[in-house]
Amino acid sequence: MCGIIGIVGSTDVTDRLVDGLKRLEYRGYDSSGIAVLDKGVLKRERAEGKIKALEAKLKETPLDGSIGIAHTRWATHGVPNENNAHPHFAGRVGVVHNGIIENFLEIRKKLGGKRTFTTQTDTEVIAHLVDLALDSGLSPIEAFKTSLKELHGAYALGLIINDNPGYIFAARAGSPLALGIGETEMYLGSDATALAQLSQKLVYLEEGDWAVITKDNYDIFDKDDKPVERPITIISGGPAMAEKGNYRHFMLKEIYEQPETIGRTLSNYISDFHRETNIPEGIDFKNLDRVIIVACGTAYYAGAVAKYWFEQIGGISVEVDIASEFRYRKPVLSQNSLFIAVSQSGETADTLAALRYCKASGLKTAALVNVMTSTMAREADIALPINAGPEIGVASTKAFTSQLTALAALALAAGRSRNTLSRDGEIRLSRSLIETPRLVTQTLELDSIIEAFAFDFSKAKSAFYLGRGPYVPLAFEGALKLKEISYIHAEGYAAGELKHGPIALIEDGTPVIVIAPYDNLYEKTISNMQEVSARGARILLITDAAGAKISEELADDLIIVPTCDGFVAPIIIAIVVQLLAYHTAVHLGTDVDQPRNLAKSVTVE
């Protein structure tokens, strides 16, 4: 949610800033901008839309300078246009900001008589505060430091000052920010991805930290302005950015990577040889009375599937909550609960806040994340990796199936620790999990059948996804994937719930996707399917061979997934709903990897 990069360099920084912005584009792509100090003079270029629009402008009017800051925006305050794009200038000061300054209206009012505001953003007040402090005679460092004290809310910021060509000022409160250490230069970035091409030696600022960065040094101060040392983290993996390869979109590539990514997740949680799960150090499932899973969006649906697994296999009560709701309802927390934050990025503001809330309440906390350098991984008591590799497509795919895989393995670990799962049961279920990469490969072979269905599906105005049991969250996830990348309105429902109201929306030809592999709830789901079919719905039934044998004739279209243990079927079905959303969006010609209004990492509440 907004990406920041800054370089205090020895040579011209413009191209490298633009390159960094491209890596950060997943965080927001409404508009972008760059500011440099050219012989001590602030200059900038900004553009509405994707980074390529900024690049085109920079070709026409190049910017030169060895110090610069840059930003890609996901609009919160003010429409996404060039004027609201960062960097924002006031007098001598230029600033880029990720987060929300909650008291910006108050500050605007306070400064109203002295200053003219030219944008609709909350960020502009930061530049004015620092510039006013400079007017009052404070040194740049003092001006920056005192201005920070006026800000309420969340921010990661980079700031440069006219006539002060040696420095970038940086600060972090609530939004992540890292420094990168180079041989003869220093860097600033929202995350390791931004800095990957520049440095593998990173220093993560902690809550309330601020920093003064020069070409060959950096000084960090804590929230009380005391100088502090923060550890240097060496980032592995080299500078290579995830590439699309021969795939048309990152999303398709990531869908196809799933046999491998699930395999990587498994290798962390299951011992193939012993057919047993590795219980992560620090988790005592035996003595827990509850697991609390908190997440947003797709990660939340992974948690919702896991509830079935933990309860049925681990015999442990599970509460799953949407992160933006969790702490505000003041949940009753028992000390014997394990809190699990599920997050691909490990930076989602609401999930992070829920983690901090539970940690402060004395609960043991775990973070199941894809990015192990993320704030959640660093702050939780236990960091649980999913190892899915960089996920670039904004719609989460491979992270979802890896989250499911890891949570499934943890449910087995809970079952073993709590004696609710026999040794035979554990062997059978771990074997099913180990089989998943092969089953996913077989499911991917259904691609052309799904693509053919998507052609007609793309003409729909609205669609419904139905399921029962663990397929209810899959129905939600299917609808979410379709909405976010194809912009077709879609809803997921528990199949039994439809007749309590939503069935009124079914009319002739309304597409209804029914998720029903053959299990103990199969017949009930099929009855619900017939209820909507009788009202004119066009049914796509996603089932297995046993289910197809019984209900083939009742569905208009059929997708038959490989036969597997019901335990892992949600992971297999996920592939189908991902491909369905993908092909529908491609037929409609939307921007699949960067759908409108979205950003990959949501670091504001």
What are the catalytic residues? Answer: 2, 600
Q: Total binding residues for ligand F6R by CB under 6 A?
A: 14
Q: Work out which of 298, 443, 486, 510 binds ligand F6R, going by CB under 6 A.
A: 298
Query: Does 603 engage in binding with ligand F6R (CB under 6 A)?
Result: no
Chain CA centroid to CA 182, Å: 28
- How far apart are CB 34 and ligand F6R at their closest, in Å? 26
Of the two residues 395 and 521, which places its CB atom closer to ligand F6R in the complex? 395
Q: Work out which of 72, 119, 396, 436 binds ligand F6R, going by CB under 6 A.
A: 396
Of the two residues 10 and 597, which places its CB atom closer to ligand F6R in the complex? 597
Interhelix angle for 258-269 vs 398-417, to 10°? 30
- How far apart are CB 424 and ligand F6R at their closest, in Å? 35
Q: Work out which of 24, 51, 395, 560 binds ligand F6R, going by CB under 6 A.
A: 395
- How far apart are CB 440 and ligand F6R at their closest, in Å? 18
- How far apart are CB 23 and ligand F6R at their closest, in Å? 16
Binding region for ligand F6R (CB under 6 A) out of 125-133, 261-269, 294-302, 420-428:
294-302
Residues 589-592: contacts with CB within 8 Å, 24+ apart?
590/485, 590/486, 590/487, 592/249, 592/251, 592/252, 592/393, 592/395, 592/485
- How far apart are CB 431 and ligand F6R at their closest, in Å? 29
Query: Does 1 engage in binding with ligand F6R (CB under 6 A)?
Result: no
Contacts with ligand F6R, 349-368, as mask; x by CB under 6 A: --x-----------------
- How far apart are CB 326 and ligand F6R at their closest, in Å? 13
CA distance 184 to 181: 9
DSSP 121: -
Of the two residues 258 and 525, which places its CB atom closer to ligand F6R in the complex? 258
Q: Work out which of 344, 432, 528, 584 binds ligand F6R, going by CB under 6 A.
A: 344
Query: Does 387 engage in binding with ligand F6R (CB under 6 A)?
Result: no
**Dihedral in degrees, nearest 10, Cα atoms 468, 471, 474, 475:** -30
Of the two residues 122 and 254, which places its CB atom closer to ligand F6R in the complex? 254
DSSP string, 482-511: HHHHH--EEEEEEGGGGGGTGGGG--TT-E
Interhelix angle for 569-588 vs 398-417, to 10°? 170
Q: Residue 482's closest CA among 502, 510, 504, 462?
A: 462
- How far apart are CB 476 and ligand F6R at their closest, in Å? 11
Contacts of 406 (CB under 8 A, 6+ apart): 265, 268, 269, 368, 384, 386
Query: Does 299 engage in binding with ligand F6R (CB under 6 A)?
Result: yes
Buried b (16+ CB within 10 A) or exposed e, 232-241: ebebeeeeee
CA distance 400 to 369: 11
No. of helices (H) and no. of strands (E), the chain = 19, 27
Binding region for ligand F6R (CB under 6 A) out of 226-234, 240-248, 338-346, 565-573:
338-346
Query: Does 348 engage in binding with ligand F6R (CB under 6 A)?
Result: yes
- How far apart are CB 397 and ligand F6R at their closest, in Å? 8
CA distance 64 to 268: 47
Kind and range of the H or E run holding 192:
helix 192-195
Contacts with ligand F6R, 447-486, as mask; x by CB under 6 A: ---------------------------------x---x--
CA distance 604 to 2: 9
Contacts of 45 (CB under 8 A, 6+ apart): 33, 34, 54, 57, 58, 61, 63
Query: Does 506 engage in binding with ligand F6R (CB under 6 A)?
Result: no
DSSP 382: E
- How far apart are CB 593 and ligand F6R at their closest, in Å? 12
Residues 60-119 that bind ligand F6R (CB under 6 A): none
Type of residue at 11: T
Q: Work out which of 17, 51, 194, 296 binds ligand F6R, going by CB under 6 A.
A: 296
Of the two residues 106 and 325, which places its CB atom closer to ligand F6R in the complex? 325
Query: Does 192 engage in binding with ligand F6R (CB under 6 A)?
Result: no
Query: Does 343 engage in binding with ligand F6R (CB under 6 A)?
Result: yes
Query: Does 297 engage in binding with ligand F6R (CB under 6 A)?
Result: yes
Closest-approach residue to ligand F6R (CB): 297
Binding region for ligand F6R (CB under 6 A) out of 295-303, 447-455, 561-569, 585-593:
295-303
CA distance 67 to 214: 9
Classified as helix, coil or strand, 389 is coil
Q: Residue 174's closest CA among 375, 418, 428?
A: 375
DSSP 320: E
CA distance 26 to 21: 9
Phi/psi for 176 (5° steps) reads -70, 150
Of the two residues 266 and 299, which places its CB atom closer to ligand F6R in the complex? 299
Query: Does 374 engage in binding with ligand F6R (CB under 6 A)?
Result: no
Name the residues that contact ligand F6R, by CB under 6 A: 296-299, 343-345, 348, 351, 395-396, 480, 484, 602
